[in-house]
């Protein structure tokens, strides 16, 4: 099963929910419902992010085999753990036993959330560039393969020691099903 679409949808939803919750906390404090909305949106974001991380683990184990070997995977794991810690600190601030630490935790929680949003956005860009670069690499590989009838392929093999298509094949093998799932990428 191809888990990539699930990963994309879950992580996009988690990012939008967490960002919305953060924006409500930043700009909606004059409303009485801001704290309830902030907590609900971010708790939902954590749950959906865990589903997205699970989809990523299943996807990578099906295609690449090594967990969190890429920069995108490592940042994603770190952001997922950070998201859980961020939510935990947010809920602990309202614990009566920790009320005296709330003043110390509040600025840490605020700035941590802002930095986490930035990290999540960077990781989204990395993930999308990984998908798009593989799609473009496959397209380039197919184009070059078709042109190889006109251009002597032996020059490439002699220079680099590999066929041109094998260079991109290893890099993009995880995205083959992605291209088949979304017809717009497969040219259908």
Express as a percent the part of the chain with pLDDT over 70.
68
- What would the pLDDT profile of 17-36 be if each residue is shown by its tens digit? 999 999 999 998 899 999 99
Closest CA to 41 of 52, 56, 29, 25: 25
Residue 31's domain comprises 4-186
Dihedral sign from CA coordinates of 120, 54, 42, 74: negative
Highest mean pLDDT among 86-95, 144-153, 155-164: 86-95
Which of 91, 78, 178 lies closest to 120 in space, CA to CA? Answer: 78
What contacts 148, CB < 8 A, 6 or more positions away?
164
pLDDT band at 49 (very low <50, low <70, confident <90, very high): very high
Q: What whole-number percentage of the chain has pLDDT above 90?
A: 30
**Calpha distance 37→20 (Å, rounded):** 9
Residue 148 has pLDDT above 50, yes or no: no
Residue 97: its pLDDT value, please?
A: 84
Question: How much is the pLDDT for 143?
Answer: 54
∠ Cα 66 136 156 (to 5°): 90
Q: Sort residue 88 into left (φ over 0), alpha (ψ -120 to 50) or beta.
A: alpha
Number of domains in the chain: 1
Regarding predicted confidence, which is higher, 17 or 68?
A: 17
Looking at residue 164, what is its pLDDT? 46
Tokens representing 57 are 């683990």
Q: Which residues contact 135 (CB under 8 A, 6 or more apart)?
A: 172, 175, 178, 179, 185
- Calculate the average pLDDT of the chain: 76
pLDDT at residue 146 in the model: 52
Confidence of residue 58 (pLDDT cuts 50, 70, 90): confident
The lowest-confidence range among 18-22, 47-51, 157-161 is 157-161
Kindly report the CATH number assigned to the domain that includes residue 133: 1.20.120.1770
- Let me know: does 36 contact 21? Beta carbons within 8 Å: no
Q: Among 13-22, 38-47, 161-170, whose mean pLDDT is lowest?
A: 161-170
């Amino acid at each position: 099963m191809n888990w990539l679409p699930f990963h994309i949808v879950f992580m996009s939803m988690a990012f939008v929910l967490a960002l919305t919750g953060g924006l409500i906390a930043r700009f909606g404090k004059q409303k009485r419902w801001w704290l309830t909305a902030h907590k609900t949106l971010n708790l939902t974001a954590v749950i959906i992010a865990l589903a997205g991380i699970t989809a990523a683990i299943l996807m990578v184990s099906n295609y690449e085999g090594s967990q969190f070997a890429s920069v995108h995977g490592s940042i994603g794991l770190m952001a997922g753990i950070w998201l859980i810690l961020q939510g935990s600190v947010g809920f602990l601030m309202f614990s009566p036993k920790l009320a005296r630490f709330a003043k110390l935790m509040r600025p840490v929680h605020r700035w941590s959330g802002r930095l986490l949003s930035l990290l999540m956005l960077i990781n989204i860009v990395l993930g999308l560039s990984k998908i798009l670069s593989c799609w473009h690499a496959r397209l380039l590989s197919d184009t070059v393969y078709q042109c190889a009838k006109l251009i002597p392929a032996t020059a490439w093999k002699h220079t680099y020691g590999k066929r041109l298509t094998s260079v991109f094949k290893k890099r993009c093998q995880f995205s083959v099903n992605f291209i088949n799932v979304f017809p717009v990428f497969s040219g259908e």
